[in-house]
Amino acid sequence: MSTPTDDQDVYSIETSGLTKVFAKKRHRGILGFLRRETEKEKSKNEKTDALTLALDHVNLKVRAGELFGLLGPNGAGKTTLVKCLATILIPDEGTAAVNGYDVMKETTMVRASIGLVVGGERTLYWKLTARDNLMYFASLYKMPRAEAKKRVNEILEIMNLRDRADERLEDYSTGMRQKVAIARALLHNPPVLLLDEPTLGLDPTFSRQIRSQIRDLCRNQGKTILLATHYMYEADELCDRVAIINNGQIAAVDSPNRLKAMVREKELVEITCVNPPLGIEAELRALCPKVEIVMLVQGDEATARPARIKMMGEEAEESVGTVIDALRKKRVQITSLNVGMPTLEDVFIKLTGGAKLTEGTENEKERHEAE
């Protein structure tokens, strides 16, 4: 789908019909190889089934200086899109340009224009110090030695890492390592930042610091930022516009407020409860056949986050009594009831027809509240 943007705008990121297909890796090892050989004889349709459409004709336009969110659950295609833009993956169809450069034909210029941060534990050399890591990557960005040294000192100061710059990263906390990862992305002062789950696995304090830095990089330094996240509140809090992505397709693109307005007209109910039994979702659906979406969002034992029952559409509010009665009969403890306050999560549920959210998505509200 096309995005609502003004043609007068200057775009830092543009994709048109971007498509990426992966072969499903069902077979591994020598036995898998032998099995695959046998499967070669099977029909063409079966071969098509063995492909995963990671990106399905994605059209996006991100304005220069915009903080643009890419919101979707794990496996939605966010990382694939970021990697295609970062020239780490080669798309199968379509075109993409970053800072005006074609990602397939002008790779060197694209690479010089972007700073890349991918969430996760290991993206740096843990046996090296923060300074060594940054000096190494500065050299990969063609900085002369003297300039690299100066810039590394500057960036260590900005990121508040100077005191521990000469310690190995293996002695850093996860949050500090993520700060080094962001410092690396900023080394060459790129106009475009591609941030893929930059707060993944961080505690609330570091998450807040990182989010504050992201906001500052966009608002005060004029960077264009593509922020891929599955934390709904992060996208809501930070982004000028958000694209909701699911199964490799862009379901909607707009500002968080306008996206939420899409579901504001609808009746919305959220019931927070503890340990709902398996099968309750189907039971509740049967009890409320006129409610468009009845969905159980699973809780998270690690953080003791309770599960939520989301109801959306006509007669959702009228059905609250029926649902509460059904839950009480099952001895499910209800901890809160929220009526009529849409979040991006509700938008996501509406647009994807109630696609299952990931554990991380469920936790993010709690994270946000804790912060």
For other proteins, the binding residue among 18, 58, 135, 296 (CB under 8 A) is 135
CB of 148 vs other proteins, minimal distance in Å: 7
Q: Name the pairing type of β-strands 67-71 and 293-297.
A: unpaired
Burial class, 351, CB count within 10 angstroms (exposed 0-12 / middle 13-18 / buried 19+) = middle
Amino acid symbol at 216:
D
The dihedral formed by the CA atoms of 189, 67, 9 and 103, expressed in degrees to the nearest 10 = 60
Backbone angles phi, psi at 42, to 5 degrees: -70, 170
For other proteins, the binding residue among 17, 27, 95, 141 (CB under 8 A) is 141
**Which residue is associated with the tokens 């009890």?**
287
List strands edge to edge, sheet with 11-23. Answer: 51-63, 11-23, 93-98, 101-102
Backbone angles phi, psi at 285, to 5 degrees: -60, -40
Is the CB of 30 or the CB of 278 nearer to other proteins?
30
Map residues 10-49 to x or -, x wherever contact with other proteins holds by CB under 8 A: ----------x-xx--------------------------
CB of 350 vs other proteins, minimal distance in Å: 31
Which H or E run includes 193?
Answer: strand 192-196
* 90 binds other proteins, rule: CB under 8 A: yes
Whole-number Å distance between alpha carbons of 344 and 350: 10
Residues touching other proteins, count (CB under 8 A)? 45
Q: Which region, judged by CB under 8 A, interacts with other proteins, from 58-66, 115-123, 230-238, 282-290? A: 115-123
Is the CB of 90 or the CB of 370 nearer to other proteins?
90
Is the CB of 95 or the CB of 141 nearer to other proteins?
141
For other proteins, the binding residue among 78, 111, 131, 211 (CB under 8 A) is 111
For other proteins, the binding residue among 118, 210, 228, 250 (CB under 8 A) is 118
For other proteins, the binding residue among 64, 112, 262, 351 (CB under 8 A) is 112
Question: Of 76, 60, 77, which Cα lies nearest the Cα of 68?
Answer: 60
Which pairs from 366-371 meet CB under 8 Å and 24+ separation?
A: 366/303, 366/305, 367/204, 367/207, 367/231, 367/233, 368/231, 368/233, 368/234, 368/237, 370/204, 371/204, 371/205, 371/207, 371/208
CB of 198 vs other proteins, minimal distance in Å: 14
CB of 252 vs other proteins, minimal distance in Å: 26
* 125 binds other proteins, rule: CB under 8 A: yes
* DSSP symbols for 63-75: ETT-EEEEE--TT
- Please state the separation of Cα 358 from the chain's center in Å: 11
Map residues 273-302 to x or -, x wherever contact with other proteins holds by CB under 8 A: ------------------------------
Q: Which region, judged by CB under 8 A, interacts with other proteins, from 33-41, 116-124, 204-212, 219-227? A: 116-124
Length of the chain: 371
CB of 183 vs other proteins, minimal distance in Å: 13
Which pairs from 293-296 meet CB under 8 Å and 24+ separation?
A: 293/349, 293/350, 293/353, 293/354, 294/323, 295/349, 295/354
Is the CB of 92 or the CB of 281 nearer to other proteins?
92
Is the CB of 87 or the CB of 224 nearer to other proteins?
87
Q: Which region, judged by CB under 8 A, interacts with other proteins, from 27-35, 123-131, 205-213, 278-286? A: 123-131
User: Which residues contact other proteins by CB under 8 A?
Assistant: 20, 22-23, 54, 80, 83, 86-90, 92, 108-109, 111-114, 116, 118, 120-128, 132, 135-137, 139-145, 147-148, 168, 184, 188
